[in-house]
């Protein structure tokens, strides 16, 4: 019995040491995972002309100004999103034209659910619904549903987003498809390319175009929580009378993420 007790007394320190080493390794792995996630600039904010394909960890806000040579319009917009519970987030914003063919300010509000996270799953899957009134005091508007698929490629990412929208009477209907790719080139800088096409499936009203498209490379630079992003490319629209116009597209935005 004394020999057995002595054997157990020597084994216990070895077991304790092994457990401590395992815990240390797990903690180091967790720190490394967090560091890698923090280093992925594409995960921390919305930096391209295309909407987000991944919910923020806590919250994000973005403000931008745009110029479209195709429509001769300067516009501005702002948007904020907050994660409420697990993968559920809510967002709200507003956008409108202020020069050229100006348009009224249109607010939007909606909710999104991140079914799959590209940081931990083979692909990312985000589904969102939003409501866009015709104006600040007009309840009539459009309901949009968007499905975004994303996948990590090294430290970069690619995403594909499909959108369908219609008004309550189903008079105005449109479909949209967007593709984006981005990749970090330094610890603070990211470059990418975005393309989007939209087509009206119903009867456009208020002189809205039958179709529009854009294609633009973009670049972003990170300063702490902030990201400054710029895009310059080409935009095209098809007017209600079926004539088309093509022009330069520029965009400048600032995003902050938590």
46-72 pLDDT per residue, tens: 666 667 788 888 899 999 999 999 888
What is the model's pLDDT at position 20? Answer: 40
Residues in the chain, pLDDT under 50: 1-39, 41-42, 44
What is the model's pLDDT at position 104? Answer: 77
Residue 229: name the closest of 220, 238, 241, 216 by CA: 220
Q: Contact 75/103 with Cβ under 8 angstroms?
A: yes
Q: Average model confidence (pLDDT) for the chain?
A: 79
Nearest 5°: CA angle at 34, between 33 and 37? Answer: 85
Class of CATH domain 45-257: mainly beta
Tens of pLDDT, residue by residue over 120-168, are 899 999 999 999 887 666 667 889 999 999 998 888 889 999 999 988 7
Residues 6+ apart with CB under 8 A from 157: 42, 43, 53, 118, 150, 151, 181, 182, 183
Give the start-to-end residue ranges of the domains of the chain.
1-39, 45-257
């Amino acid at each position: 019995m004394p020999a057995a007790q002595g054997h157990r007394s020597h084994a216990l320190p070895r077991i304790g040491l092994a457990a401590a080493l395992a815990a240390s390794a797990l903690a180091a792995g967790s720190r490394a995972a967090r560091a890698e996630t923090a280093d992925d600039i594409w995960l921390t904010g919305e930096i391209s002309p295309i909407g987000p394909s991944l919910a923020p960890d806590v919250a994000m806000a973005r403000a931008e100004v745009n110029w479209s040579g195709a429509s001769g319009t300067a516009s501005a917009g702002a948007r904020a999103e907050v994660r409420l519970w697990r993968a559920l987030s809510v967002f709200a914003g507003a956008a409108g034209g202020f020069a050229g063919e100006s348009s009224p300010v249109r607010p939007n509000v909606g909710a999104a659910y991140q079914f799959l996270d590209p940081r931990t799953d083979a692909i990312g899957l985000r589904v969102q619904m939003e409501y866009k009134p015709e104006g600040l005091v007009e309840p009539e508007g459009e309901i949009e549903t968007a499905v975004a698929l994303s996948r990590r490629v090294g430290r970069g990412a690619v995403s594909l987003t499909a959108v369908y929208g219609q008004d309550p009477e189903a008079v105005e209907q449109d479909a949209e498809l967007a593709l984006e790719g981005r990749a970090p080139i330094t610890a603070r800088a990211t470059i990418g390319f975005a393309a989007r096409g939209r087509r009206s499936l119903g009867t456009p009203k208020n002189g809205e175009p039958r179709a529009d498209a854009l294609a633009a490379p973009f670049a972003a630079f990170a300063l702490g929580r902030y990201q400054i992003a710029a895009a310059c490319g080409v935009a095209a629209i098809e007017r209600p009378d079926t004539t088309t116009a093509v022009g330069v597209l520029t965009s400048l935005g600032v995003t902050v993420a938590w």
